[in-house]
Structure 1
Amino acid sequence: MYHSRLGCSSISFRHLDLRAALATMAAAGFEEIDLGALPGVCDHVPYTLDREAVSSVAADVAASGLRVRSVNGDVGDLNAPLDAEARRKRAEHLDRLLDLTAAVGAEALVLPCGALDHKPVDSLDADLGRVAAELVGASEVAADRRLGLWTESLHVLRLSWNLERALALAARLDGSPVQHVLDASHAVASGGNFEEAARALGPRIAHVHLRDAVPGDIHRSIGAGAVDFAGGLSALRELDYTGHFTLELETRDVTHDERPAAAAKAAAFITSLI
């Protein structure tokens, strides 16, 4: 029905419980998803992520018949200095998220690019270095399980909030197994554009999130913002991008009842462009 490389994030239906969200995405014609595991943003994965919770979520996903491309998770502010106990807790949380990633058959775990604050804890150089070190360390743990580790390195709400910072972070990650998720809405909301970000990050990109935006606002339905999807997707084709795309429709301009139809409409439009 839709392009084979196009899926939908469960974050698009975060107002529903996991089973209902999975059923809604399947009914809308999707075969692939990203699984949101972001407490406070998307509660499809329990806040206390123990082995029982991992098994429960994996069972629900398996029953849905949907395949999972990635798990979108968070282990805390990667630019925050940690004491020994906090580091132990982070390592344990990372292990459980990787357990979940493996259990649902996903390719990779996605982690963010620092705290929800543009201001560094120390200096920008030190903070970006700390984020890079944490991501590289997580990627090594993931690789031991034959899983990938991706980061959404341009996120308008976080430390690495624009393309300049994303490229500075990317330079610190070059040569490591960490790959990048590019979100079209964050590229535009930060004052840039989708095509520019795609060309700048280039072969580092492992996955692409799609949602519309205007400067300062990432919560627009596709077609209701300023993202040039045709230009960005054309650039990715020129770059021989072979990864997948996910509609992450965390929008505020449609009602919950309208979301399934809006997701289907967006999927048909993006399919025509891929």
Structure 2
Amino acid sequence: MRISDRLGCSTISFRHLPLCDALTVIGDLGFDEIDLGALPGVCDHVPFTLNGPAVTQVADEVIGSGLRVRTVNGDIGDLNTVLDVPGHGERRAHLQQLLDLTARVGAVALVLPNGALSHRPVVDLDIDISRVTMELAAAAELAATFDLQLWVESLHVLRLCHSLPEATQLTKALAGSPVGVVMDFSHVVASGARLEQFVDLFGDRIRHVHLRDATTGNIHHSIGNGAVDFAAGVAALDSAGYDGHFALELETRDVADADRPAATARAAGFVSALLQSTAGLARTTQAPASFAGHTPSGGIS
């Protein structure tokens, strides 16, 4: 089956490879579209210390691959951290470089996190979410000068906004801004929430969707090895009028590196079938338990 035009693959799925090699594998699998991973410690396809030459080098590699870029998934530091004036200047300079890269590769949006990799606020939750909101709104204003959108992964089980209540508070605070929401199926399920709940709450603000399997507390499963009801999630999005794109973000711990291309191809076929046929949504409620051919790995490591 041909991969859906609405389905891309994040380079995070092949983070163990140099960027050029990851792009080659993704193209060989039949994808036309990517998300470009730029997350320090997760995916180093984009250097955290960006300057003009680094932006040019990454952009040239991506453009040379012939792949279309939907988003750059980046990080400019903990948005709930208190910074002095020089710190703010460094953060804004980093943001400008990321936006320059995002524009050069022809992406639609830059995606940023919802706060630090900690559930513990720096001050308290209200103040921290207020800080994150202001930083995201300011980033969106700067993104607009590059003719780009700014989106946030509003629920991330490892970060400040790690469950529906925090994600709801952040999204309400962003109501007057153009910041869009990225929905990640694995983080929603790992947080203990249902995909339908997330869509009901934030459906009109969802701009992009990340796909990976999960169980409660564990976001690192290959599709078919967890508890995510992909068909229900896609159906909920369809009912809410979502017509955006999806990306396989297979930052998994239960597949050997050598097996990642095959697992990605199976996941692409499964998801493409869901996106292609509403009849398929009615027939299928979950990826088969043996879909990825591996045993779930257990807790987050």
Q: Kindly report which structure 2 residues correspond to 1:1-274, keeping only aligned pairs within 5 A, or say none.
A: 1-274=2-275
Residues 221-247 of structure 1 show CA distances to partners (whole Å, capped at 9, x for unaligned) of: 001100010101000000110110000
Q: Deviations over 1:204-224 (max 9, x none)?
A: 100000000000100000011
2:282 corresponds to: none
Can you give the 5+ residue segments of structure 1 that lack an aligned partner in the other structure? none
The residue type paired with residue 206 of structure 1 is R
Q: Residues of 2 paired with 1:264 and 1:205: CA distance?
A: 26
Q: What does the per-residue CA deviation read over 1:95-143, in whole Å, with 9 as the maximum and x for residues that have no partner? A: 0000000011100000000000001111111100100000000000001
SS in structure 2 at match of 1:19: helix
3-state secondary structure, aligned to 2:171: helix
CA shift digits 1:242-266 (9 cap, x unpaired) = 1100000000111001000101100
Give the superposition deviation at 1:24: 0.4
Conserved? CA contact 1:195–1:228, under 8 Å? no
Report the TM-score, using the length of structure 2 for normalisation: 0.90
1:184/1:193 contact within 8 Å kept: no
Alpha-carbon separation, structure 1, partners of 2:175 and 2:32? 32
**Offset of 1:195 from its aligned partner?**
2.1
Aligned residues: 274
**TM (normalized to structure 1)?**
0.99
Which secondary structure state, in structure 1, belongs to the residue aligned with residue 182 of structure 2? strand
Distance (Å, rounded) in 2 between the aligned partners of 1:5 and 1:241: 11
How much does 1:47 deviate? 2.6
Runs of 4+ off more than 4 Å: none
Superposed CA deviations along residues 50-80 of structure 1, whole A, max 9, x for unmatched, are 1101111111111111000000000000001
8 A contact 1:189–1:215 mirrored in 2: yes
Q: Which runs of 5 or more structure 2 residues have no equivalent in the other structure?
A: 276-301
Distance, in Å, in 1 between the alignment partners of 2:253 and 2:146 is 37
